[in-house]
A and B are shown apart, each in its own frame.
Chain A
């Protein structure tokens, strides 16, 4: 569509400022509110980042607070040094491990699901399955956790009852570190595979049907066509999403780990987001948790920019 536009572009004379504004001022007026919004809620908090280098005082403005000192000596990186403790390394490790596991199990799931959906014979059946598969995406993590509680409770949980019926012992799905991780990842896949498949289905719909016909003529069966036509057709989508996903390695939301964690599994469940919340807003260690947050933001940004750069280099579209 962009190309069409370029074709009809005329060489315009440079219009003077006032006549230009007279014609276009309304557009700037429209943009005013979003820009003010972004300036206030996205840019203004950035000034508070500086407290990572200062000793936080409740009764002072950010600029008045003294720079961080240790034993009377100026030491602006005090809180960064302080933050590099076991708890933080733990949270960082969990963040990375959970993200990688999510990627490993959660990434292929929607692709496989889309491939399967594509093979379904009846349209109404396909539609019903899709509607059902999108459902978990619309549930909040609190609700998903409560579903998990009823389903996986050691006594009386549906799944454990089935396990006990076969004569085995109940599995502590939510109260023991390793099992908790499995449950966490599993529920992540459960929540997102249907929704994630939308984009691949759109990709499949865009593949030239002649390719399939040609493959049939060559005697390719279902699986051969999947492997040699559908998957190569989805390659660019897969690559972009994979790279972007890797770029978000230090991101990871707050809602999911916070809703699902409990004290018994904190050693594997605490991520940076929940760590910052507990130390900062709950524990009032503002400077320390801002330092951790800043570390996360900066390293996260480097990863994202890197991912974007690689994605563009490969000739794909970045996120902007």
Chain B
């Protein structure tokens, strides 16, 4: 019985994607007649060729990929810089720093103050606004810190006695031992950047700098307006649907290809933050 429920649950999870995938591969004729269910009818790759041939999507795809990579590296660096010194119990001012960090978890200035800050810093419509402001998540920092706590202090202390500097200890002891937590947080940050669109919606006005998700959002919300539809090449409603499905698949597949390989790590990571000790 439990197996049956699980199979059902898996089907419910996969069904929407299968349906969409089928539509993206189908011929427009069948789509207009609403005859596509789970398998593509009139199999063809027209929609994909069209998406791949459109410079706008390709550029946005690579732009988002680039952003994601840069963002992930930068965020991991900042997170590690924050987490590592805080595991030293003897560090003076540690309590103060902890309070300083904790306050940001409870009080958020709000959307408009953040917007005005970006304006003041001249970050509106700058690519940097998609990388810098979201680079440190305190929750992720706590996950990393919990992981560092799990590494025996004696390793650090013996290295200290041998005269290693703290930075050296970090790079040659903590970093190699912390691959699982780095993999987990890399996934969290990367998924967050790849899937995020609200910051671009608020701070970016140049369409060239739109990440893929915002582009997709605009397409979904303008698909009904005739003017935009002709601009986007949705002249025939059937192809429009295939094209839309193809764009969605196109922006989903990278993550679907990556996450199963990291499953082992993120399961450990997701539990670290919550059940410490």
Q: Are A5 and B153 in contact (CB under 8 A)?
A: yes
Do A45 and B116 contact each other (CB < 8 Å), given the known contacts A30-B84, A37-B135, A281-B111? yes
Most chain B CB within 10 A, of A135, A203, A317, is at A135
B69 located at the interface, meaning its Cβ lies under 8 Å from any Cβ of chain A in the complex: no
Question: B91: which of A24, A140, A281 is its contact (CB, 8 Å)?
Answer: A24
A230 located at the interface, meaning its Cβ lies under 8 Å from any Cβ of chain B in the complex: no
Residues from 216 to 243 in A contacting B, C-beta threshold 8 Å: 237, 240-241
Q: Are B275 and A203 in contact (CB under 8 A)?
A: yes
Q: Which of B41-49, B53-61, B97-105 touches A? A: B97-105
In the assembled complex, the Cα of A262 lies from the Cα of B101 at a distance in Å of 37
Q: Are A147 and B248 in contact (CB under 8 A)?
A: yes
A18 located at the interface, meaning its Cβ lies under 8 Å from any Cβ of chain B in the complex: no
Do A276 and B16 contact each other (CB < 8 Å), given the known contacts A42-B104, A116-B5, A320-B102? no
Residues from 230 to 277 in B contacting A, C-beta threshold 8 Å: 241, 244-245, 248, 251-252, 255-256, 259-260, 263, 267, 270-271, 274-277
A77 located at the interface, meaning its Cβ lies under 8 Å from any Cβ of chain B in the complex: no
Query: Nearest CB to that of A39 among chain B residues?
Result: B100
27 contacts between A and B (CB under 8 A): A26-B166, A38-B136, A45-B114, A48-B113, A48-B116, A48-B117, A120-B2, A120-B6, A129-B10, A133-B10, A135-B14, A138-B191, A143-B195, A143-B216, A143-B252, A146-B248, A147-B16, A150-B19, A150-B241, A155-B34, A156-B31, A237-B274, A240-B274, A258-B198, A276-B111, A289-B112, A294-B110
Residues on B lying within 8 angstroms of A by beta carbon are 2-3, 5-7, 9-10, 12-17, 19-20, 23, 31, 34, 37, 78-79, 81-82, 84-86, 88-92, 97-98, 100-102, 104-117, 121, 132-133, 135-136, 141-142, 149-150, 153, 165-167, 170, 191, 194-198, 201-202, 213-214, 216-217, 220, 241, 244-245, 248, 251-252, 255-256, 259-260, 263, 267, 270-271, 274-277
